[in-house]
Amino acid sequence: MAGRTVTRAQLSEAVYQEVGFSRSESTELLESILKHISNALAQGELVKISSFGTFSVRQKGQRVGRNPKTGQEVPILPRRVLVFRPSQVLKSRINTKRHPKAAV
């Protein structure tokens, strides 16, 4: 694994390089994309990006958890969690490119 971390900076740099918008405009557009996705999810909408994956919101019921340090029982309240299901395309891309162990 290369083990680097890609952040907003590199993604907006890619928009700047590939699409030719100014760096500041690229940064704003990236932010705007994340905002639209977050808003949709907060509304409980499904977000489906073809050939990338699907983000969905799932409702979890209350259950009893345990503080692993003290062993004390604590209720875990009902909550909404985000689930990402990668598309087949993304999964196969990740398994076909130079991962040393996958080649064995």
Partner 1 sequence: MTKSELIARLAADNPHLYHRDVERIVTTIFDEITAALADGDRVELRGFGAFSVRERNARTGRNPRTGDSVSVDAKYIPYFKTGKQLRDRLNGKP
Angle between helices 8-19 and 23-42 in degrees, nearest 10: 120
Among 38, 65, 66, 74, binds partner 1 (CB under 8 A): 38
d(CA 92, CA 16): 28
47 lies in the binding site for partner 1 (CB under 8 A)? yes
- The answer to whether residues 73 and 65 touch, using CB atoms and an 8 Å cutoff, is yes
Sites of contact with partner 1 (CB under 8 A): 1-8, 10-11, 14-15, 18-19, 21, 26, 29-30, 32-34, 36-38, 40-42, 45-53, 55, 57, 79-82, 84, 86, 90-91, 93-99, 101-102, 104
